[in-house]
Amino acid sequence: RQDATEEFKKYHPLDYVSDLPEGSIIGSINPDTLGKLREKKEVNAAPADSADTDKEIPHLSMCVSCPDFEVAARAVLPHKSIVYASTSANTGLSLKTNIDDWGRINFRPRVMRNVGDVDSRRSIFGHTSQYPFYISPMGTLGAIHPEAEPEMVRGAVRKGAHMVVSTASTKTSEQIMQAYVDEQTRLNNKSPTQLFYQYYMPVERKKAIELMHIVKKAGYKGIWITVDTPVLGKRTADRVLQAEEALAVGLGEEGTAEWEAGGENDFAPAMGGRVVSGQLSPHTTWEDLAWIRKEWEGPIVLKGIQTADDAKLAYEYGCDGILLSNHGGRQLHTAPSALMTLLEIRTYCPEVIGKLEIFLDGGLRDGSDVLKALCLGATAVGVGRPFMYALAAYGSQGVERCIDVLAEELTLGMRLLGVTALDQLKPEMVNATRLLNEMWRPESNNIIIKSRL
């Protein structure tokens, strides 16, 4: 027999099994089948589940930009964790576009201004942060670092950055909040950091309300409801890894039967440390916001808005904020970048700017680029993968270092742009012509197909 406890703990709390819905536990493992599974076939299997021992982890001081953390993480993470951290939908075009679009907007700096002192603080729903960026929600961080989400929280609290916690976290929402409270206590509650909660809508409303009440009681300051995952996108690298692992233990085609049959959404993953049967609900509609507002009195953000039309609907249905996002390029193939969506909102739905708090994420790798989003009307920008890689290689110290790197680039960018406070940023300080030329426009999108007899 093989003990899978340590591997299990990377992805789920230990009480996960006891919370499984009725019918999930189908019986004991037949030890006679283990021998068959250990008979490996000659296939192009995935690399061994260990880091490349030929690579050395750079000293933390050598990490001077966000890409440096990825290099360090790849030296320590097993192949499976690297796949999880870097995977994208289909051919990866959405992920590439996320990164590239930041470089397709240029600054228009002003000179001869006194920029001796700068203030980069920004408030999110009344909670001031040291920075106009925050740590994006990322699930199963136990596969990245043994201390998982609590270790990320410690780094955020020490530097005064806000963080959005994932529903799919390795640790429970209470455990993560306790790590936050403990770190705040150690710092005499001097950190402005607050935690918000990213929320997947379960199929069962009873479970949805139960989780919402748990999160509220724990002390999270707002919920960010993910709306771009009615089903999971095709995450190509994940599927290749699954097939490789199945072949390596002799399972063959049956190892990929689950996703080929569309079974991904039938799984019962841990949400906030608790099992919710059918994690992703394909039935959520705008009308559901009425009962959500009844159960949750704090700020509500819709995460995954990708058009101006839906931004307007979010405002009309009483949301407090929207997060422009394509899920890190992991969902719809060739979905628009958040920057493109922000430009569409500025052009066709400018009335929501200033009425909704507008966040965006995806592809940011330089602190100065945060300013581009703020010039165009964003409240703050979420950063995900760089913090994941920093955590993997250096723990909470890496998280702190990543915040410092982004913060330095941000304040340096402010000075070189000619501003000393974020409220001085204006749309005319950036040139977004290249993106605007490719932006969707209703007047040029009347595609009429004519047929000849």
For 145-158, how does the pLDDT look when each residue is reduced to its tens digit (9 = 90+)?
999 999 999 999 99
Q: Between the CA atoms of 107, 112, 114 and 117, what dihedral angle is there, to the nearest 10 degrees?
A: 30
Q: How far lies 52's CA from each of 48, 82, 141, 214, in Å?
A: 9, 12, 20, 41
Rg (alpha carbons) of the chain, rounded to whole number: 23
- The pLDDT of residue 246 is 80
pLDDT-derived band at 230, boundaries 50, 70, 90: confident
Q: Are 331 and 228 in contact (CB under 8 A)?
A: yes
Of 11-15, 126-130, 138-142, 355-359, where does mean pLDDT reach its minimum?
A: 11-15
Say if residue 272 carries a ligand binding annotation: no
Number of neighbours of residue 381 by Cβ within 10 angstroms: 29
pTM of the model: 0.86
User: Catalytic residue at 327?
Assistant: yes
Helix, strand or coil, per DSSP, at residue 441: coil
Residue 246: φ, ψ to 5°: -65, -45
Is residue 67 pLDDT above 50, yes or no? yes
Of 131-135, 205-209, 267-271, where does mean pLDDT reach its minimum?
A: 267-271
Q: What are the residues facing 323 on neighbouring strands?
A: 303, 359
Say if residue 138 carries a ligand binding annotation: yes
**Structural domains for the chain:** 63-235+283-438 (3.20.20.70)
Q: Which of 12, 145, 162, 327 is catalytic?
A: 327
At a CB cut-off of 8 Å and minimum separation 6, what does 103 contact? none
Is residue 321 pLDDT above 90, yes or no? yes
Say if residue 235 carries a ligand binding annotation: yes
Is residue 28 pLDDT above 50, yes or no? yes
Exposure string over 289-305, b if 16+ CB within 10 A, otherwise e: beebeeebeebbbbbbb
The distance of Cα 258 from the centroid of its chain, to the nearest Å, equals: 25
Exposure string over 212-249, b if 16+ CB within 10 A, otherwise e: bebbeebebbbbbbbbbbeebbbbbebeebbbbbbbbb
pLDDT-derived band at 89, boundaries 50, 70, 90: confident
Q: Are 407 and 119 in contact (CB under 8 A)?
A: no
Q: Between the CA atoms of 386, 389, 395 and 397, what dihedral angle is there, to the nearest 10 degrees?
A: -40
Distance separating alpha carbons of residues 241 and 86, to the nearest angstrom: 13
Helix, strand or coil, per DSSP, at residue 323: strand
Tokens at 94, concatenated:
């959405």
Of 160-174, 232-246, 338-352, where does mean pLDDT reach its minimum?
A: 232-246
- The pLDDT of residue 444 is 67
Tokens at 160, concatenated:
């005064």
Q: Are 135 and 155 in contact (CB under 8 A)?
A: no
Tokens at 286, concatenated:
């705008």
- The pLDDT of residue 40 is 47
pLDDT in tens, 405-441: 999 999 999 999 999 999 999 999 999 999 999 999 9
- The pLDDT of residue 443 is 76
Say if residue 16 carries a ligand binding annotation: no
Question: Whole-number mean pLDDT of the chain?
Answer: 85
Q: In which residue are the tokens 């536990």 written? A: 25
Say if residue 3 carries a ligand binding annotation: no
pLDDT-derived band at 14, boundaries 50, 70, 90: low
Residue 279: φ, ψ to 5°: -60, -40
pLDDT-derived band at 340, boundaries 50, 70, 90: very high
